[in-house]
Amino acid sequence: MKEKIFELVKEYMDARKQEPFTPGKSIVKVGAPCFGHEEINNALDSLLSLWISQGKKVIQFEKEYAAYVGTKHGIAVNSGSSANLLALAILIKAGRVKKGAEVIVPAATFTTVISPIIQNGLVPVFVDIEDGSYNISPTAIEAAITENTGLIMPVHSLGCPADMEAIMAIAEKHNLPVFEDCCEAHSAAVNGKRVGSFGTLSAFSFFVAHNMTTGEGGMIMTNDDELEDLARSMREFGRLKKYEEGKPRFYFTDEQLKDYDERYVFEIMGYNVRMSDIHASLGIEQLKKLDALTDHRIQVATFYEQHLKKYEKHLQLPATPAGALHSFYGYTLLVKDTAPFTRTDIVRFLEEHNIETRAFLGGNLTLQPAYRGEHIRVADDLAMTNNVMNNTFFIGTHSYVTEEQRQYVVDVFDKFFAQYD
């Protein structure tokens, strides 16, 4: 009967085609989950088995994604935000970063890079980003390091890899750990090495709009066995990191507990941020498609570059650093100061023509209400960050952006620029 259900789902998904695109009426979305029958049936398999919490599929997804990224371990959690929160907590617990230490971060990023730093009793130090890649500047990192620095936290913004070779050299010089935020950068690489495999730890998000998705979900990556053990314990309430094989369940004894159930012994304070097998089911199938999904994003970005290059007098197109594989979470455009229009002008025009846009994440996060009054440090004038905050936006590149849709997007840009001939 289960196989019959799977076959019916396949028939349904094969018959369910993307709605016909009507220029000017249909929406060209910034992001969308790109699912087939494989994801649906694998999730159904978990539901029908009645094993819906963390189980064997989570373990499978962890192993397969770690192999893809190029790390020894993957620890699945319920979001990229939780991955950041947990990763910072285990660095502190392991003594790799001291409470109250400073964490060097780009000022132009997303709130869930910064909030977990403060929530863990650390101090974010905001530095500027590079022109073109919009990633944290290695020069700015070096200038911001003091005796209080405990961690460098680069973010691979919108799929563009940060200069990890330069960052790792700085980290080695100053004996500092590196924690990579790769939440928007699945598949991205530097000289063939995947982002997420450079630092002491890294974090990925599998949010619905990202390059691959489990709906909600995230994962911590590391080669460090101690950090892996801590992550697995703290992910799940702070339970015992290792169970002793061959012993009965009611064996745990110390100076306070006697013959206690090992499942209810908590070594450290932890969280409950586990991924479910349902979400892992989606990730297992999405990972099989990730390279194809990334190739499509690159094709869309290449098309936009070819057709928008003629407007470079007024728009700065996204840069791909030498040796980098840019996975294009979105296609980023910066309105130059000399342009006869503002970002608001072009964004409103695009939105009026049903082309979705987004700002560059949180812009300059030092200006956000959430961090006013918090203990932070701003290391420089953040000139490029402010430029990006005020003048940058991005549009979608995902697999549901068809040839017809991307041509429509270019036509709308042409229509907008015709006003300024």
- Label residues 205-237 b or e (16+ Cβ within 10 Å = b): bbbebbbbbbbbbbbbbbebeebbbbbbbbbbb
Residue 197: which pLDDT band, with cuts at 50, 70 and 90?
Answer: very high
47 φ, ψ to 5°?
Answer: -60, -45
Q: How far apart are CA 381 and CA 387, in angstroms?
A: 11
- The answer to whether residue 3 is domain-embedded is no
Distances in Å between the Cα of 239 and the Cα atoms of 90, 245, 251, 261 are 14, 16, 15, 11
Reference 274, options 77, 51, 88, 52; nearest CA is 77
Average pLDDT value for residue range 53-68: 96
Output the pLDDT for position 123: 98
- The answer to whether residue 351 is domain-embedded is yes
Average pLDDT value for residue range 131-155: 98
Reference 197, options 206, 186, 184; nearest CA is 186
pLDDT of residue 18 exceeding 80:
no
Chain-centre distance for alpha carbon 376 = 23
CATH number assigned to the domain comprising residue 125: 3.40.640.10
The four Cα atoms 127, 78, 204, 403 give a dihedral, to 10 degrees, of -110
Question: Catalytic amino acids?
Answer: 210
Query: What is the secondary structure of 210-238 as a DSSP string?
Result: SSS--BS-EEEEES-HHHHHHHHHHHBTT
What is the helix (H) or strand (E) element at residue 389, kind and residue range?
Answer: helix 383-391
- The answer to whether residue 256 is domain-embedded is no
Residue 5: which pLDDT band, with cuts at 50, 70 and 90?
Answer: confident
- The answer to whether residue 413 is domain-embedded is yes
Q: Within 10 A of 139 (CB to CB), how many other CB atoms are there?
A: 15
Residue 186: which pLDDT band, with cuts at 50, 70 and 90?
Answer: very high
Task: Give the ranges where 35-137 is alpha helix by DSSP (H).
Answer: 37-49, 56-69, 80-93, 111-119
Q: Give the least confident one: 49-58, 181-190, 381-390.
A: 49-58
- The answer to whether residue 74 is domain-embedded is yes
Average pLDDT value for residue range 311-320: 96
Average pLDDT value for residue range 356-369: 96
Output the pLDDT for position 9: 84
Long-range contacts of 110-115 (CB under 8 A, 24+ apart): 110/155, 110/183, 110/361, 110/362, 111/362, 111/365, 111/368, 111/370, 112/80, 112/81, 112/84, 112/183, 113/84, 113/153, 113/155, 113/181, 114/365, 114/371, 115/81, 115/370
305 φ, ψ to 5°?
Answer: -60, -45
- The answer to whether residue 247 is domain-embedded is no
pLDDT of residue 269 exceeding 90:
yes
Q: How far apart are CA 288 and CA 294, in angstroms?
A: 12
Give me the number of domains the chain comprises.
Answer: 1
pLDDT of residue 247 exceeding 80:
no
Q: How far apart are CA 349 and CA 196, in angstroms?
A: 37
Q: How far apart are CA 340 and CA 342, in angstroms?
A: 7
Query: E strands, 95-135, where?
Result: 102-106, 123-127
Structural domain that includes position 377: 19-236+272-420
pLDDT of residue 28 exceeding 90:
yes
Reference 274, options 61, 118, 121, 42; nearest CA is 61
Output the pLDDT for position 51: 86
Q: How far apart are CA 179 and CA 171, in angstroms?
A: 11
Distances in Å between the Cα of 54 and the Cα atoms of 127, 236, 276, 278, 417 are 38, 10, 4, 9, 52
- The answer to whether residue 31 is domain-embedded is yes
Half-sphere exposure of 1 (CA within 13 A, CB side): 2
- The answer to whether residue 246 is domain-embedded is no
pLDDT of residue 421 exceeding 90:
no
